[in-house]
């Protein structure tokens, strides 16, 4: 579904991503783990078209999207749940969701948007309870659910999530990751960027380790969990019992 080959990208003269290659197949969760500043967010922003690649290629569903505008990439079926949630604080939960369905409305009309909104309410029941509440007054966990629901309103083939566990209590993180697993089990495809390596690798099919803009390790999630270097650098211990 997604193929990234020999990708370089950055900001001005600052080269952040260096010869990155990865792939995401349909129906799997792939996670990218790494420390702050490793280039994880830049990678997602380059895939979605917010940052331009300076070298290499990005193919989404066999279509080159290096020079595509971000809105066209979203319309093609790729959605981003941004770091920090970035909900529209002065709008209600329902208004945020409807805004997320703008691509769907253009394709199938308002009725399809309203039906999809009910699907998001089924996935995140608390959003139905808060539908008329201003997004800025929600808890951090509720805002994360809203950000995820808003992205899913476009019925994407690929959902990219940037640090969904940031700033959340452990029980809420558990709920968020359970929803991500449910999305995969329902046939969705997820590219998950996370600092919480244990949680991310615990639900992923495969993973990549990014360090200073380069992929230094990749493989099945279970293998990365058992890797001593990953354990030492990202799990805070030498060996998993």
Q: Is residue 180 part of a domain?
A: no
Q: Is residue 136 part of a domain?
A: yes
* Cα dihedral 192, 196, 202, 206 sign: positive
What pLDDT score was predicted for residue 203? 96
Q: At what angle do helices 110-123 and 93-100 cross, to 10 degrees?
A: 120
What pLDDT score was predicted for residue 220? 97
What pLDDT score was predicted for residue 234? 84
Q: Is residue 127 part of a domain?
A: yes
What pLDDT score was predicted for residue 237? 56
What pLDDT score was predicted for residue 221? 96
Q: Is residue 121 part of a domain?
A: yes
What pLDDT score was predicted for residue 36? 87
SS3 78: strand
Q: Is residue 115 part of a domain?
A: yes
pLDDT tens for residues 142-179? 999 999 999 999 999 999 999 999 989 999 999 999 99
- pTM of the predicted protein model: 0.91
What pLDDT score was predicted for residue 72? 94
How many domains is the chain built from? Answer: 1
Question: Can you list the pairs that 80-83 forms with residues at least 24 positions away whose Cβ atoms lie under 8 Å?
Answer: 80/44, 80/48, 80/151, 80/160, 80/161, 80/162, 81/147, 81/148, 81/150, 81/151, 81/159, 81/160, 81/161, 81/162, 81/164, 82/147, 82/162, 83/41, 83/162, 83/163, 83/166, 83/193
Which regions of the chain are under pLDDT 70? 236-241
Q: Are the C-beta atoms of 158 and 2 separated by less than 8 Å? A: yes
Domain of 111 in residue numbering reads as: 87-155
Q: Is residue 79 part of a domain?
A: no
220: Cα within 13 Å, side-chain hemisphere? 3
Q: Is residue 73 part of a domain?
A: no
Residues in a beta bridge with 206: 30, 220
């Amino acid at each position: 579904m997604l193929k990234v080959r020999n990708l370089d990208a950055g900001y001005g003269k600052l080269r952040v991503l260096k010869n990155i290659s990865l792939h995401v197949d349909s129906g799997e969760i792939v996670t990218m783990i790494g420390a702050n500043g490793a280039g994880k967010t830049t990678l997602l922003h380059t895939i979605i078209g917010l940052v331009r690649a300076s070298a290499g290629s990005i193919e989404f569903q066999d279509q080159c999207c290096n020079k595509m505008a971000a809105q066209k990439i979203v319309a093609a079926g790729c959605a981003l749940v941004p770091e920090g949630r970035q909900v529209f604080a002065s709008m209600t939960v329902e208004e945020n969701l409807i805004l997320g369905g703008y691509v769907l409305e253009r394709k199938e009309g308002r009725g399809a948007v309203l039906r999809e909104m009910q699907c998001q309410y089924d996935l995140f029941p608390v959003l139905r309870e808060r539908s008329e509440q201003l997004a800025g007054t929600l808890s951090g966990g509720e805002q994360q659910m809203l950000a995820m629901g808003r992205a899913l309103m476009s019925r994407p083939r690929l959902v990219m999530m940037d640090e969904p566990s940031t700033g959340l209590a452990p029980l809420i993180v558990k709920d968020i990751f359970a929803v991500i697993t449910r999305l995969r089990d329902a046939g969705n495809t997820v590219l998950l960027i996370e600092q919480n390596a244990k949680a991310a690798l615990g639900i992923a099919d495969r993973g990549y380790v990014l360090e200073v803009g380069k992929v230094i390790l990749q493989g099945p999630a279970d293998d990365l969990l058992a890797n001593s270097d990953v354990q030492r650098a990202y799990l805070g211990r030498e060996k998993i019992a």
